[in-house]
Amino acid sequence: MSGVSIWLALGLLAVAALLPLAITLLGPARARGRGEADLGLYRAQLAELAREKEAGRLDAAAHRAAVLEVQRRLLAAPAEAGPAEDRRSRWVLAAALVAVPGLALGLYLRSGIPDMPSAPFALRHEIAARDDRLLDDLRVRLGQLPPESSQAREGWTLLGNAERGRGRLAAAAEAYRKALAGGFDADLTGQLAQVLLEEGRNEEAQALLAAALPRAQGHVGLRFLAGLAEAQAGRPESAKAAWRALIADAPPEAPWRAMVERRLNALP
């Protein structure tokens, strides 16, 4: 393929990828609440995860973990945004529509090599080893901070996210526990509980959630995970009771309501 053909193909791919966003931005504004936007993003992310699984880039376990993470974020979504915030979001998206392909093209013109082969195994192994050293160094430095300090909590949380992203669930759980040493945080507790459930450590997750729920009775994410823990423990009736109570307390427009109902209806 000639150089011109390569650039033409890349340009067409970029246009195709950004066309839906352009149509949305350039079309007439619609009354769209934050809940609707969150739900739309949730559906798009699930569709993308399904495509990744079908293409063989995600195995079944990684797909389940990713879907659960998307659901957790939906449950933790903030309240409705106002018109001013919606206008700001449209301007940000419009700027991204122009800036992202331009930035990508500039970087490619500077250092791109179309015919470069994929990184060999030895190089990927070297990069992974380097990342291991960096995370180990971060772990040592965080261990020298006062456990109750905000710097320690933020650092351990970031380390937990990094370990989780690499599929090292035990290390992620340990980091999240250290982050919680500085004090209770409902969202962070939910992240730890989710990692424990992903790893199959149901009893630990249930004990964690049982201790956390009295301190954050209205936290949607913790209540959802409590039901999930019951379902994974083979107690569908208890899971149904937890999720029915969650749905009963949910406003009709809650963007996560349909997701919980589907989970509930899928139980035996």
Domain ranges of the chain: 9-111, 121-266
> Running DSSP on this structure, what letter comes out for residue 137?
H
Exposure string of 72-83, with b = 16+ CB inside 10 Å and e = fewer, is bebbbbeeebee
Q: Which of 100, 104, 160 minimizes the C-alpha distance to 135?
A: 160
Separation between Cα atoms, residue 151 and residue 96, nearest integer Å: 32
Find the largest Cα–Cα distance for the chain: 65
Q: To which CATH superfamily is domain 121-266 assigned?
A: Tetratricopeptide repeat domain (1.25.40.10)
Instruction: Work out the end-to-end distance of the chain between its first and last CA atoms, rounded to an integer number of angstroms.
Output: 55
From first to last of its 268 residues, the chain has per-residue pLDDT tens of 555 455 555 555 555 555 555 555 455 544 444 455 555 556 666 677 777 777 776 667 666 777 677 666 666 655 444 555 455 555 555 555 555 555 555 555 555 555 555 556 565 666 667 777 878 888 888 888 898 888 889 889 988 888 888 889 999 999 999 999 989 999 999 999 999 999 999 999 999 999 999 999 899 999 999 999 999 999 999 999 999 999 999 888 888 888 999 999 999 9
